[in-house]
Amino acid sequence: MTQVWFYHLERTPLRAALPDLLEKTLQKGWKAYVLGEAGDMLVGLDQHLWAYRDEAFLPHGLESEPEAARQPVLLGDSGGNANAADVLFSVSAMNLPELSPYQRCLILFEGQDETHLNWARAQWKALKARNLDLAYWKQNDAGRWEKVQ
């Protein structure tokens, strides 16, 4: 059964939180699919992941590019999971694909975005009704992630 973890971004913006979570995913030997809105959002994340730190980058690609299936981290808007990812990262308020192919689904939502916050609440209710294994994570005062539920 897919574990679904909700990450409430209150202290750290998406561009800062996502690379760290992707690094942890790759360290486990897992692949990731990042589901986001087409256009500026995915293009911006694509550029950011190449240069988010001077000494590091995350190997990744866009699902619209050749060799998408070979990418350890794939960014897309279809939910097609062309790279057979183990972890789905949902970073936009959009319909989730079928979750059964994934070991884990991480739903990252920013607390200042009312639309995204309301969407995340609706997802929690819908996924809880399906009896999925849910967890809610938020950052403590030191910036560390803590599992609240």
Query: Which CATH number is 16's domain given?
Result: 3.40.50.10110
- pLDDT for the residue numbered 114: 93
State phi, psi for 51 to the nearest 5 degrees.
Answer: -135, 25
Q: Is 56 helix (H, G, I), strand (E, B) or coil?
A: strand
**Residue 128 domain-assigned (yes or no):** no
The rounded distance, in Å, linking the Cα atoms of 82 and 61 is 11
The percentage of the chain sitting over the pLDDT mark of 90, rounded to a whole number, equals 85
**Could you identify the residue written with the tokens 């971004």?**
9
How many C-beta atoms lie closer than 10 Å to residue 9's C-beta? 21
**Residue 54 domain-assigned (yes or no):** yes
Angstrom CA distances, 117 to 63, 110, 111, 122, 126, stand at 26, 7, 6, 9, 14
Domain tally, the chain: 1
**Residue 142 domain-assigned (yes or no):** no
Q: Which band of pLDDT confidence, cut at 50, 70 and 90, is reported for residue 111?
A: confident
